[in-house]
Amino acid sequence: MVATLPSAILATGPSGPAIRDFPTEERPRERLRNRGAGNLSNPELMAILLRTGLEGENVIAMATRLLATVGGLQGLSRSNFDDLCLMKGISNAKACQLLAGIELGRRVAALEPDESPRIGSPADVASLYMPEMSAFDREHMRIVLLNTKNQIVATDDLYVGSVNAALVRPAEVFASAVRRNLPAVMVVHNHPSGDPTPSPEDVRLTGQLVEAGRLLDIEVVDHIVIGQGRFVSMREQKLGF
């Protein structure tokens, strides 16, 4: 499949009208949302990163000019910050946005199919999340989504502040797992005091989530409480499980 530029820009020459004057359905962001990123041309994808063009040159035209100047995507991938900043209309911020997008693409391309972390024990979870979460000065609750191989598919930041049974809604906890048709989740939250000892509210919340998971056929594998350099597995302690 070869993605093409929208008819609005093709019909009006290389500079084209301002993006705001495009028919709504032909603006890059709307095309990505409605048709998928794979249906956008290279200039359109770059336009989303660049966000704005110049007076008399809309952002898609700018992206097209930039690609022609550097020799296409391959040339763009070899460009550095200084190279990009020499281009007309490319500010420091735009150069950073492009380079960040290129680097993300490189990292995705380098991933091995089974590179996602596999969870074999509570310590595996703690080692992943403790360095960051033990430093938080407020409670944070994260939902770790797991596939059938116990690999981490994604992590959702769900709550910041008081994490207790009265405030946490099970529907929100399991929403991503239901949407992605995943079989299991793990709950992770921190105690800013540094003491990971589960509170009665932690136990009550865990019991509610385990029961809700049974109804949805989604296993709550564990609830890990992170402290300062320490953690507690509520499953191992049989608290709420």
- Residue 5 is predicted with a pLDDT of 54
- Residue 31 is predicted with a pLDDT of 85
Question: What three-state secondary structure class fits 15?
Answer: coil
Q: Is the pLDDT of residue 212 over 80?
A: yes
Confidence of residue 81 (pLDDT cuts 50, 70, 90): very high
Does pTM top 0.85 for this prediction? no
Contacts with 25 (C-beta within 8 Å, 6 or more apart), sequence order: 31, 34
Burial 32-52 (b: 16+ CB within 10 A, else e): beeeeeeebbebbbbbbbbee
| Helix or strand (DSSP H, E) at 222 | strand 219-226
pLDDT tens digits, one per residue of 155-191: 988 888 776 656 788 888 999 999 999 999 999 999 9
Contacts with 228 (C-beta within 8 Å, 6 or more apart), sequence order: 134, 194, 195
Confidence of residue 56 (pLDDT cuts 50, 70, 90): confident
pLDDT tens digits, one per residue of 32-45: 888 888 788 888 99
Contacts with 67 (C-beta within 8 Å, 6 or more apart), sequence order: 42, 43, 46, 73, 75, 76
Q: Is the pLDDT of residue 54 over 70?
A: yes
Nearest-angstrom CA–CA distance, 205 and 214? 14
Q: Is the pLDDT of residue 98 over 90?
A: yes
pLDDT tens digits, one per residue of 3-34: 555 544 444 444 556 777 777 777 888 888 88
Q: Mean pLDDT, to the nearest integer, of 128-142?
A: 88
- Residue 13 is predicted with a pLDDT of 45
Q: Is the pLDDT of residue 205 over 90?
A: yes
Q: Mean pLDDT, to the nearest integer, of 43-60?
A: 90
Q: Is 136 left (phi over 0), alpha (psi -120 to 50) or beta?
A: beta
Q: Give 66-70 contacts, CB < 8 A, sequence gap 24+.
A: 66/90, 67/42, 67/43
Of all residues in the chain, what percent carry a pLDDT higher than 70? 87
- Residue 20 is predicted with a pLDDT of 72
- Residue 12 is predicted with a pLDDT of 42
Alpha carbon 220 to chain centroid distance? 22
Alpha carbon 131 to chain centroid distance? 19
Q: What rounded mean pLDDT belongs to the chain?
A: 85
Strand order in the sheet with 152-160: 152-160, 140-146, 184-190, 219-226, 231-233
Q: Mean pLDDT, to the nearest integer, of 217-234?
A: 94
Domains identified in the chain and CATH numbers: 7-110 (1.10.150), 122-233 (3.40.140.10)
